[in-house]
Amino acid sequence: MNPIIAEVLERFLRYVKIHTASSDEPDAGHPSTACQWDLLRLLEEELRDLGLSEINLSDAGVLTAVLPANVDGEAGSIPTIAYLAHVDTYPGTPGKDVKPNIIENYDGLDIVLPGTGKLLRVADNQDLANYKGETVITTDGTTLLGADDKAGVAAIMTLLSHLTTNADIPRCRLKVAFTPDEEIGQGTANFPPLDEFGATAAYTIDGGPEGEVENETFSADTAIVKLIGKDVHPGYAKNKMVSAVRAAAHLIDLLPRDALPESTEGMEGYLHPLQINGDVNEVVVPFLVRDFELAALKDWEARLEGLLRQTEEAFPGLRCEMTVQHSYKNMRYYLDKEPRAATLALEAVKRAGMVPVLQAIRGGTDGSRLSEMGLPTPNLFGGGRNFHSVEEWIPLSAMGKAVHMLIELTRLWASEKV
């Protein structure tokens, strides 16, 4: 076996067996679960064994380290590039006692998950059969696998190991960061200050199939809608009561059916009523507003305003208010300021022998937050499929390709200037 493939496999299998689910309980602390320290401390030790410098594991569980550049250049002119992966796994699916099911020389047929007897079907996994004859890793069917994002962790660690033993490969200054709690949206909550972190660009290695580079995320607002009615004793309510509960139901019913999360895909935006909270007097409905174009969020919000006015007309005496909170902006707007972040990634994918696929994520990532804070951070593939599921799987070759992509990307940045 190719030594890079052998190493990334060995690391991956070790890391996925360590339970690192985060917790979405409120006020769970940082990290949200103590078990994430097990992997963070192991990685800290392994970074030390690899001889990295400036190793730091913060009180909040963010592990960072540096591999110095090996190319000549004037002080301050060699770029620092950061590779990021998260150590936690999704809390909604069991992630303890992961038993990886390694299928060598896969026959291209449905796979029986040995812990449950259930099938991982080729019919539901369009590209599974493409790996006929290769090694595919699933779980036993009782847990998730945790390729999200331990495939990313294993790829970065294997890269570092390869670069330290092959000093002839030109490299820029590399910074790595392993973060907790990405799955609960807290991945960047305790990230070091960016001026201190000091990178020209960063990459999360947290994506799916080989070749994918994600440089777009949704732009996101939350529109908090308040419907204010009038409560009266129901026995004497005739022509007096204005029910905010019924008005909310009416409003929800007015929503365009073709503009909901469950009816959109690709580059389409949506309005998503997330919750309904309240009583006859007052109901509050937070709406997620999502679109890839920032300007289009305003259109969605105007459309929603229109529905509020219609609801007021249908319920005389009702008052509707809407306040908009900004969540995040499409990463693309920030990446435009450092176009090399995406272009070099696409070139690295090509050099590693794949067809690059530029993609948009129908969500936000740690990278969207970091990009907004000033560190351009596209997302690169790690190779896993069916994230957050007991049907999670990953082809071994994809993990090897992720390492090769990172080697090429590091090499490409080595010949750039800040």
Q: Which stretch binds Zn ion (CB under 5 A): 35-43, 148-156, 248-256, 396-404?
A: 148-156
Residue 231 Cα distances to 52, 70, 316, angstroms:
66, 72, 14
- Does the protein bind Zn ion through residue 392 (CB under 5 A)? no
Q: Check the CA dihedral 245-247-248-249 and report its sign.
A: positive
- Does the protein bind Zn ion through residue 408 (CB under 5 A)? no
- Does the protein bind Zn ion through residue 88 (CB under 5 A)? no
Q: How many residues bind Zn ion (CB under 5 A)?
A: 3
At its nearest, how many Å lie between Zn ion and the CB of residue 232? 51
Contacts of 21 (CB under 8 A, 6+ apart): 33, 35, 88, 89, 90, 91, 95, 96
Out of 44, 88, 149, 392, point to the residue binding Zn ion (CB under 5 A). 149
Q: Which stretch binds Zn ion (CB under 5 A): 24-32, 200-208, 233-241, 345-353?
A: 200-208
- Does the protein bind Zn ion through residue 206 (CB under 5 A)? yes
Residue type, 14: R
Q: Are 318 and 227 in contact (CB under 8 A)?
A: yes
Two structure tokens written together for 124: 């539901």
At its nearest, how many Å lie between Zn ion and the CB of residue 86? 6
At its nearest, how many Å lie between Zn ion and the CB of residue 206? 4
Of 172 and 345, CB closest to Zn ion: 345
CB atoms within 10 A of CB 297: 24
The helices-and-strands tally (H runs, E runs) of the chain is 10, 18
Residue 67 Cα distances to 12, 159, 367, angstroms:
21, 11, 21
At its nearest, how many Å lie between Zn ion and the CB of residue 98? 15
E strand or H helix at 160:
helix 147-165
Out of 148, 291, 338, 408, point to the residue binding Zn ion (CB under 5 A). 148
At its nearest, how many Å lie between Zn ion and the CB of residue 148? 4
Residues annotated as catalytic (active site), given as ranges: 88, 182
Q: Which stretch binds Zn ion (CB under 5 A): 144-152, 233-241, 314-322, 394-402?
A: 144-152
Which residue, chain included where needed, has tokens 């939350």?
222
What residues make contact with Zn ion under the rule CB under 5 A? Answer: 148-149, 206
